[in-house]
Structure 1
């Protein structure tokens, strides 16, 4: 049986508060004992002893105020010859001052405590004992402050590192979502635009072809809505993710059929029997999808060839066509090639895209290692 989340959240806080309260009670009782050992039951001594220990209970809430009261009370106890130890309550309070406050403020607090301690010890102790005691107490106070300041620096570094990691993760997630949206919407809208243009052109003279084009538009729209619902379901889910399978190698024949409906025959060749990890399979699918979409958008009418080779360590994708070789419309700045390059970079792979050097058309090649 697990503890309630609220209880788990407050356990560390309760622990630290308990430590401080225990330290306050212990210091107060110890100094009560010192009062009785040095002067007997003196009311003023008990008051000073209370202010030496009690502020430690709230040192996390008011670190500077607690330290100020403790260091003044402890040095008052020194003047009254009550202090019989090395300023442990002061050290306990000073540590949190160094942790909680900026360096300049904590340094001023340290120097004030050092000066007050030196004066009080010099007044109460004979030479050269006062010099030795002052030096020893100063050494302890400076060391305690240094430990606290080091802790503060380390926590600031860890916090900054965590913020940078969160910012990088957020940026990567935004890019991933942008890639998915682009690949889903761009491909489908290209198919719909092409077929809508055909339907509009032949509606009067060839109604059968117009009807066929409208059927393609309907199928493509439905498929796009399904993918969009899946993506939005994943984004909206906070507890149970949408476990609908993401597109992969098995969905490539459907993608090829859609391209053929848009007037671009695609020859698909798959070599190798290795089952790809889901992430790699999705990357391969999106690369082929974007490449074929670009052929439909910028090179049709053309023929397209898709070759996919898989091994135990690598997936290789090559998409070529015999179109005009252009992939960016005049005045346009598409994100398709950049998105493919980013997908490949996630796996430290290689990506090339440009006119096919073997003669005409355009070639996209990607290699994704995944071992």
Structure 2
């Protein structure tokens, strides 16, 4: 609002200056009555003050007023420069704000009127065409540049929206895959055990895991609501919870976090999700097994290594899990590898630079 008011003040100042110049040009060669000078100068100059609101009307009024004061011999032909300045202001605005058809029609009309009252000499007509044509070209180029910038900003917004959708989809996959894998393992245990006590323990784990999954999904989907209370994203300080949940599913997890866990939020979240997805794969494909999680935080990077002593795999799957981990690492220009360990089992390694 303040910037728009500033523009109107600039236009008002320009209109005042043009009005003074036009008035001076009217009385420079021979004295004229003020009741002719003041209205004539006002009709030519004052519309410039509202050119941003009514550009076409401003161009029509200034052009017509210029022709009227010249034809009425209030302004001499040799003093056309001042009122043509008002016409140029208006024509520029039309070229910027209106479609090409309107702006070209305005250019043609202004050239015809100003050329007619300038005496009709070829030299004067060429000068008028050159001056008004240059003003129109500048205005139309400005319109094209603004259109390009608007289109670029719109494309950036669309890309940002698509990236955010992909991020949310990846987060949902990590949350759902991890927790449902634990639930599936415990449900299978509850279905096969003979002891009611063990079945009760499995059902308790299912209840706690499902409740945790719902809480995390509710927090994640809350970012789509403007009135949501946003909770901090999980980071390195939540890795112990992942280890505990995997242990409930029959995977013995040894967690070793080295260094200062205070890292940038995005890096911490990515490391958390990588560990989560790696543990999910262990639960799904290697349980019961032992698993070692090493997170080494250095001043320049976070290194994650997850190894298990399960049966391993001969071929890597094409699911979203490994691809999601690889994408998270690629965002930070890090390195990622996943495959059978040297002594058996499976191994996931990732390095996330953060400086």
> TM over 0.5, yes or no?
yes
2:96 aligned partner: 99
Which stretch shows the higher mean deviation, 58-67 or 26-35? Answer: 26-35
Say what the alpha-carbon RMSD is for the aligned residues: 3.1
Structure 2 distance, partners of 1:54, 1:276, is 61
Shift of 1:357: 5.8
Q: Deviations over 1:82-128 (max 9, x none)?
A: 152411111111110111123343234223322332232134xxxxx
Structure 2 gaps of 5+ residues are none
Report the CA distance shift for 1:278/1:44 in structure 2 as closer, same or farther (over 3 A). closer
Structure 2 residue 349 is the aligned partner of structure 1 residue 362: no
> Which of the numbers 176, 190, 199 marks the counterpart of 2:181?
190
2:285 aligned partner: 298
> Which of the numbers 137, 143, 146 marks the counterpart of 2:137?
146
Whether contact under 8 Å (2:22, 2:41) holds in the other structure is yes
2:257 aligned partner: 270
Q: Normalising by structure 1, what TM-score? A: 0.81
| Greater than 6 Å deviation, 4+ residue runs | 42-47, 326-329
Instruction: Report the number of matched residues.
Output: 348
Q: Normalising by structure 2, what TM-score? A: 0.84
Alignment of 1:1-371 (within 5 A): 10-24=1-15, 27=18, 31=22, 34-35=25-26, 40-41=32-33, 49-81=41-73, 82-83=75-76, 84-86=79-81, 87-123=84-120, 130-202=121-193, 205-237=194-226, 242=230, 244-273=231-260, 275-321=262-308, 322-325=310-313, 334-353=319-338, 355-356=339-340, 358=342, 360-371=344-355
Whether contact under 8 Å (2:178, 2:276) holds in the other structure is yes
Whether contact under 8 Å (1:122, 1:131) holds in the other structure is no
Residue 13 of structure 1 aligns to a residue in which SS? helix
1:126 aligned partner: none
Shift of 1:169: 1.9
Structure 1 gaps of 5+ residues are 1-9, 124-129
Whether contact under 8 Å (1:300, 1:323) holds in the other structure is no
Report the CA distance shift for 1:327/1:170 in structure 2 as closer, same or farther (over 3 A). farther
Residue 289 of structure 2 aligns to a residue in which SS? coil
